[in-house]
Amino acid sequence: MFNRGYFALAYEKKFLTLTLLAFFSIMSFHTVVGMRDAIVYSIENGASIVPFVRTYITLPTTFLVGALYLSLQKRFGTALTYSVVNWGLGSYFILYTLILIPHYSDWTISSEYAQTLRSAYPHFQHIINLIAHWPSAVFHVCAEVWSVYIFIILFWQVANEATTKEEAEKYYPVVIFLMSFGTAMAAYPIHYMSKAMNPGLALLSIIVPISLTLSSIVFYINRKWALDQQVVPLDHAPKEESVSLFSRIRKALSQGISERVLYVSLSVMIFNLMMSLFDSCFWTRVSESASGQNEVLAFYSQYTFYKGCASLVAGMVNIYLINRMGWYFVLRITPIVSGLAINTMLFSYFPNNPIQLPETLTLMNSTYQITHLITWVFAIGLLGSYACKFAFFDPAKEIMIKEMSSEDRRVAKVFADGFSGRAGKITGGVLQSLLLSFTAAQSVLEIAPLIFVVSIAASFIYMLAIYRLRPRQDEALDPAHAVG
């Protein structure tokens, strides 16, 4: 599985530096996401406000940060853009912990008034709940956008600019594999937060040093290997080229986005849509049995550890498959695993369905509560889906993007990892928020049968998008292009 070439990477400074950046990026990603979920899910029916947060707050924030990212990256380069996004969004974590939380009741409406409004307007109960807990909702937004830009968009932007095509094909499968170790290790800072009297302060004690480390590594990479950036000085920037983000998107669409960019963006969007539905249902189930932030963090710590272990195993398999079978074979694994996992869980919530799981299990005249066991069965499906996407889909996608032209790479990173990734989650949020409002359901699990129908349709579109990414007959059938 591992040939001598992979062991030789241990002596390459560029590979080691990118691996270190990847390790701290993914550790910070899971640490912040763990705290984000603990904060929201500890609110009564908190999981059901997530679709509304993604629809009405995350959506505009994504476009604003995307516009800022494109502007800063063009004018100042990747290194400075990284630090601006890193500390710009991360500063809210400090504000939330040190200022908003100690005086939470002064910044929000009373719980009694919020309950009165929810009773009077049941179809808007989740929006009212969002407004009543707006500091936590904004934390969710900043944590989600920060983690995605730091780990997905900016990390891969730095990696793609710092490496050649040959280095990317050699580094990425191993970097992805070693990232899984960072995922498993992230379980320990999350566990530390779950035991802390003040989880917010515990988060700051972890994330501030990591953020400093991340920015320092990026500046070192830029100084050592000169990131491939086209910086336009402010006093020489042509005024006529200063167009809006929507104008840039319209221009890209009018000029024609390549088929690869279009379908890789669609596949990323559909995966995130399906995972948005899966996440909401699964974490609603977890939050209903948890008693507070610390208990949610404790479960998330275990979940993250097993997610990292699953990614390690998938990463080892990927290193073998991507060299023997080609990137397209590897690309097809994720839609199969994720489709089976999410649709099985959602189908289990149909009334009187054949796979309805019991609440208890009786063996030898003893009765056992298996609710927790059932939750972990669904957790395996969820973490398995993310492990496949992380270990199989992402490296195959990055190898494919690396083969594109410079402009297509830039568009692919913004559309696929930026807007399409966010659009998928936001679309899932829109669908769930509309269904929750229309049905006046208190929990997203009450509308699981309706979500199942959406998920089935999304699964078919996902598989179609992957099929359209197949290599053409005129492409060389080397390991990087083999159909498998």
pLDDT in tens, 317-345: 877 777 777 777 888 888 888 899 999 88
* Contacts within 8 Å (CB) and 24+ apart, 335-340: 335/267, 335/271, 335/459, 335/462, 335/463, 335/466, 337/384, 337/385, 337/388, 338/271, 338/274, 338/275, 338/278, 338/385, 338/388, 338/389, 338/462, 339/274, 339/455, 339/459, 339/462, 339/463, 340/381
| Cβ-proximal residues to 429 (8 Å cutoff; 6+ apart), any chain | 50, 51, 52, 53, 54, 55, 58, 276
Whether the per-residue pLDDT at 220 is higher than 60: the answer is yes
Q: Which domains does the chain have, with CATH numbers?
A: 11-227+256-468 (1.20.1250.20)
Please state, in angstroms and rounded to a whole number, the distance separating the CA atoms of residues 99 and 481. Answer: 53
* Cβ pair 359, 279 in contact under 8 A: no
DSSP 159-195: HHHHS-HHHHHHHHHHHHHHHHHHHHHTHHHHHHHHH
At residue 349, φ and ψ (nearest 5 deg) are -90, 0
Taking alpha carbons only, the member of 156, 175, 173 closest to residue 413 is: 156
Whether the per-residue pLDDT at 356 is higher than 70: the answer is no
pTM as predicted: 0.75
Whether the per-residue pLDDT at 235 is higher than 50: the answer is no
Residue 458 confidence (pLDDT): 92
Averaged pLDDT, 157-186: 81
| Cβ-proximal residues to 189 (8 Å cutoff; 6+ apart), any chain | 27, 31, 206
The pLDDT > 90 percentage for the chain reads 12
Please state, in angstroms and rounded to a whole number, the distance separating the CA atoms of residues 93 and 34. Answer: 13
Q: Sign of the CA dihedral 99, 101, 105, 110? A: positive
Please state, in angstroms and rounded to a whole number, the distance separating the CA atoms of residues 469 and 74. Answer: 29
